[in-house]
Amino acid sequence: MRLKVNPIACEAHGMCAELLPERISLDDWGYPILDEQPITPELLDHAKRAAQACPTFALLLLRDEQLGRFS
């Protein structure tokens, strides 16, 4: 499973980085920088919580098949 950000929905609330600092850090303007690596089983619960906490539903936790390709 991997994390993906919908950059259009993201409004830089920053809760994701607080809840999953192992994979998410914030850039100069408060927007998330995602570590590309897959989510390990130990981090899975934290990743789910981070995705649920996002106020704008911008953080998505997807299976590898769902990721697709950006345009």
Partner 1 sequence: MNAPDQAPAGLPRLLAGMPEHGALGLAEHRVIHGELPYSTRRERRGAGALIELVEQAGLRGRGGAAFPLARKLRAVTAAAGRTPLGKRPIVLANASEGEPASGKDRLLLESLPHLVLDGGVLAARAVGADELIVCVDESAGAALRSLTRALSERERAGGDALRIGVQTVPAGYVSGQESALVNLCSGGPAKPTLTPPMPFQRGVRRRPTLVNNAETLAQLALIARNGPRWFRALGTRDDPGSALVTLSGAVAYPGVYEIEHGAPLPALIEAAGGSTSALRAVLLGGYGGAWVDGVAIPQLALANEQLAAHGASLGAGVMVLLSEQACPVAETARITRWLATQSAGQCGPCIHGLDAIAGAIEEVAHGAATPGVGERIARWCSLASGRGACRHPDGAVRFITSGLEVFAEEFADHARHGRCDACASAPELPLPSHVELAAAA
Partner 2 sequence: MITPIDAVASSTYWYLTRSTGAVALLLLTLSLALGVAGVSRFSSPRWPRFVLDSLHRNVSLLALAFLLVHIVTAVLDSFAPISLIDAFVPFAGSYRPFWLGLGAISFDLLLAVTLTSLVRRRLGYGAWRATHWLAYACWPIALLHGLGTGSDVKSAWLLGLSIACLAIVALAVGVRAISGWPEHARLRGAALGATAAFALFLVIWLPGGPLGHGWAQRSGTPTSLLGHATTHTTSAKASR
**Containing H/E element for 5?**
strand 2-5
Positions in 33-52 near partner 1 (CB under 8 A): 33
Separation between Cα atoms, residue 55 and residue 71, nearest integer Å: 25
26 binds partner 2 (CB under 8 A): no
31 binds partner 1 (CB under 8 A): yes
Separation between Cα atoms, residue 26 and residue 17, nearest integer Å: 7
63 binds partner 1 (CB under 8 A): no
Report the interface residues with partner 2, using CB under 8 A: 9, 12-15, 18-19, 30, 53, 55-57
